[in-house]
Structure 1
Amino acid sequence: MKAINITFKFADGQPEQTHVAAEGESVLDVALNNNIQLQHNCGGVCGCSTCHVYVLAGADDLPEISDKEEDFIDRAVDPRLNSRLACQCVTQGNENLVVEIPKQDFLGH
């Protein structure tokens, strides 16, 4: 299996972190496995918008966004064109990922 680097940037000013993910792991799983605080009220099943992130690089190697994910992103705080749900960003392909975790001082849907 191919190892993919995921670089986490933080809107709250924490220093960025880079961690290795195995192909098929979600960004949410990698964050939680490395003690990165990322809300996930639904448990990572695409049932809320709390694991909302911005994909800054590597989006072409992620699965296509589903209608369900898009609906939840529309409910997130400050959605952008590069918004995704970390639970749905499953690593695949060859490209490394860079994601930004927005400030999480709110309760999402």
Structure 2
Amino acid sequence: MPVIRILPHATLCPEGGSIQAPAGTSLCEALLENGIAIEHACDMSSACTTCHVVVKEGFNSLGEMDESEEDLLDRAWGLAPTSRLSCQAILSNQDVTIEIPKYTINHARENH
């Protein structure tokens, strides 16, 4: 099972962490299932950017990005060349390292 390493995030994962998830799982699902409450205002329907992550290692191992994800990412805070919507980034058999940006476009954070 691939390992997802999460870099420290002041609120969601202050000390960083590592979790395992089966290949075929989205990064968002894996984070949520392991108690890391990443925002997902559109309930993982690829309609917002609140689950945006920056992939630091393993970017090419994730499922391909479609055009709608690319278009949405243009609105994400802290966009980087290796940005992905975690609800659309599907794990393969390779480990990944991610950073959850400090801010999202969601000014009124909902407690999912």
Q: Output the CA distance in 1 between the equivalents of 2:78 and 2:35.
A: 24
Task: Note the 1:15-94 alignment, pairs <5 A.
Answer: 15-92=15-92, 94=93
Unaligned runs of 5+ in 1: none
Preserved contact between residue 39 and residue 104 of structure 1 (Cα < 8 Å): no
Q: Output the CA distance in 1 between the equivalents of 2:80 and 2:55.
A: 10
SS at match of 1:87: coil
Task: With the length of structure 1 as denominator, give the TM-score of the two structures.
Answer: 0.89
What percent of counterpart residues are identical? 32
User: Which residue matches 2:101?
Assistant: 102
Q: Which has the higher strand share?
A: 1
Preserved contact between residue 6 and residue 99 of structure 1 (Cα < 8 Å): yes
| Corresponding residue pairs, total | 105
Task: With the length of structure 2 as denominator, give the TM-score of the two structures.
Answer: 0.86
Q: Once the 2 structures are TM-superposed, how far is the Cα of residue 103 of structure 1 from its aligned partner? A: 1.3
2:3 counterpart of 1:5? yes
Q: Output the CA distance in 2 between the equivalents of 1:18 and 1:50.
A: 21
User: Which residue matches 2:110?
Assistant: none
